[in-house]
Structure 1
Amino acid sequence: MAFLYAHFEEERVSPVTLDVSKIHAELKQIEQEEGVRILYACESGSRAWGFPSKDSDYDVRFIYVRPVEWYLSIFEKRDVIERPISDLLDINGWDLKKALNLFRKSNPPLLEWLQSPIPYLESFSVTEKIRQLSPLTFSPRSTMYHYLRMAKGNFREYLQGDLVKIKKYFYVLRPILACGWIGKYGTMPPMEFEELVEQMLPASTLKEEVYTLLTRKKAGVEFDLEPKISVINDFLERQIAYFEETAKHISDSGEKQDQALDGLFRDALKEVWGS
């Protein structure tokens, strides 16, 4: 590993950055074009997780609300807003009603948005009210299964054989460590990869190898196919097998909170658009 690390150190490249004012301008334009109000917007991808590549997109996700009349219809309407990826900006959002229905099911991507370490906008009180309900609606079992499926899929697709796509280790390690967090604390795991590593891995050769990879990633090194890292592969294989069994027996204590969410939705409409 020392030789490979020294070799890639020579190829450091600074990550490409985007002026945050461009994100704010795009959000304002969406509001004007769609006739909506954006309640909350955040970074949701590898930049929020703490391991962006040099050319990573900005994965901006948002929650919005439409005028009251839009919801008073017998027809089903499109409840997402999406924009084509352009100039490193990948931006899309969910209608508040859709978001709340997913929230009551303990939807992990939405729960990640709500605790993103990189918020871009938070208007009105509704987002904080949703956060306050999170401990009540959180389902350890369904959330663990979400992360376990993610880990299994990436492990199976990218980390088999003697040569592997080395950057994909992050996309298996993070969900597996998230499973460990849920098993230990019974709460939504933090988004930041480094916090998961610190909390879930004891001092060991495994932890050293993970931090070596993270250091290279933060330095802007572009990973290609490399020899697999046996200590990490072995750990992931054991953990996947362990959580496949553990997830069957973990608590599923999340509550729907239907009445509270109905009230929250109505209050948000009044706060945003007036009575």
Structure 2
Amino acid sequence: MYQSKAWGFASPDSDYDVRFIYVRNKEDYLKLNKNRDVIEWRLDDVLDINGWDIQKALRLLYKSNPTLIEWSMSPMVYKTTPQWEKISGIISQYFLEKTGVYHYLSMAKGNYREYLKTDEVKLKKYFYVIRPILACKWILDKKTAPPMLFSELMNECLDDELKPEINRLLEIKKQTSELGKGKRIDVINDYIEKELAEIEKKADIIENKYNDWEILNKIFLEILEQ
């Protein structure tokens, strides 16, 4: 499970974002023509299903892809396998701080610029800016991948003076189908602008690191032989 339900701030009518990794027949990986490596299926307005081929997933893990890492950390798991448990057991080794910070920083900046700079804003968009900011702060402080749950990020990384306002919005969002529009909340906007500037400065000086293919190649071949 992914997005708002896994993050812990779903509305009553939030859809179900189901994510999975799949493996094709061994022969498919030996063909000259490349197969599509994504399965996308939206059953209705409630169920959104998206899967990645194992080869794509492992290549993205090598690059410390934050989306794949979030999938692996979801608190809501419908089904797992021994093969996936082996992969999830090494994911933390492939987390790169710089990649993670720049991913969440870009997300926060983009959502803030697009949704929260006018006098009237979509209030739910505050969560889509605050969460990636807190994820950046977590990475910079703890040097690990941030947790999925917004409540955990908020408890660890959000300034105490902002918590009552964020909790107020959070309770409204959980209880109503649509948070709706409202006046821009200046105290939150000021916090966002301050944090974005500070995170950008810190991100620039994170040491570049690189992952190794050996473990991933071994896991991939083992999976194909099963």
TM-score normalised over the length of structure 1: 0.79
Secondary structure at 1:122 match in 2 = coil
Structure 1 residue 136 displacement after superposition: 2.1
The 2-side partners of 1:199 and 1:251 are apart by 24
Q: Over the residues paired in the alignment, what is the CA RMSD in angstroms? A: 1.3
Q: For the residues of structure 2 that align with 1:159 and 1:113, how far apart are their CA atoms?
A: 27
What are the equivalent positions in structure 2 for 1:1-16 lying under 5 Å apart? none
Q: Aligned equivalents of 2:10 and 2:153: distance in 1?
A: 16
Counterpart check, 1:251 vs 2:207? yes
2:221 corresponds to 1:237: no
CA apart distance, 1:251: 3.0
Residue 50 of structure 1 and its aligned partner are, at CA, apart by 0.7
| Aligned equivalents of 1:85, 1:46: Cα separation in 2 | 18
**In structure 2, which of residues 160, 169, 176 is the aligned counterpart of residue 203 of structure 1?**
160
**Aligned partners of 1:85 and 1:106: how far apart in 2?**
30
CA contact (8 A) 1:181 1:200 kept: yes
Structure label with greater radius of gyration: 1
Report whether the alignment pairs 1:265 with 2:223.
Answer: no
Query: In 1, distance between residues paired with 2:5 and 2:93?
Result: 28
C-alpha deviation, 1:113, in angstroms? 0.4
Note if 1:154 corresponds to 2:106.
no
Q: Counterpart amino acid of 1:151?
A: A
SS at match of 1:83: strand
Name 1:61's counterpart in structure 2.
19
How many percent identity over aligned positions? Answer: 49
Deviation (angstroms), 1:85:
4.3
Distance in 2 of aligned mates of 1:143 and 1:51: 22
Give the distance between the partners of 1:126 and 1:244, measured in 2 at CA. Answer: 37
Q: Which AA in structure 2 matches 1:68?
A: K
| Alpha-carbon contact 1:140-1:254 (below 8 Å) kept | no
CA contact under 8 A between 2:19 and 2:51: conserved in structure 1?
yes
**Per-residue Cα deviation, 1:202-246 (whole angstroms, up to 9, x for no partner):** 422x11101111111111252222011111110001111111111
Measure the CA separation in 2 of the matches of 1:115 and 1:161.
Answer: 34
1:62 deviation in Å? 0.5
Q: Does 1:190 align with 2:163?
A: no
Cα 1:130–1:166 change in 2 (3 A) is same
Uncovered stretches (5+) of structure 2, i.e. residues with no partner? none
Aligned-partner residue type, residue 266 of structure 1: L
Aligned residue number for residue 49 of structure 2: 91
Q: Is the contact made by 2:13 and 2:177 (CA closer than 8 Å) also made in structure 1?
A: no
CA displacement 1:184-207 (0-9 Å, x = unmatched): 001100011111000112422x11
User: What is the CA–CA distance in structure 2 between the aligned matches of 1:236 and 1:213, rounded to whole Å?
Assistant: 16
The residue aligned with 1:3 is none
Change (3 A) 1:254 1:128: farther
* TM-score, with length taken from structure 2: 0.96
Q: Deviations over 1:103-140 (max 9, x none)?
A: 000000000000101011102x2222222222321110
Q: What are the residue-to-residue correspondences of 1:22-37 with 2, within 5 Å? A: none
Q: C-alpha deviations, 1:25-83, integer Å up to 9, x for none?
A: xxxxxxxxxxxxxxxxxx11111011112321111011000111111111111111111
Other structure's SS at 1:120 match: coil
Q: Distance between the aligned counterparts of 1:79 and 1:203, measured in 2?
A: 44
Which residue of 2 is the match for residue 82 of structure 1? 40
TM-superposed CA distance for 1:266, in Å, is 1.1
AA paired with 1:183? L
Q: Which residue identity lines up with residue 185 of structure 2 in the other structure? A: I
Aligned partner letter, 1:150: M
- Give the distance between the partners of 1:114 and 1:218, measured in 2 at CA: 24
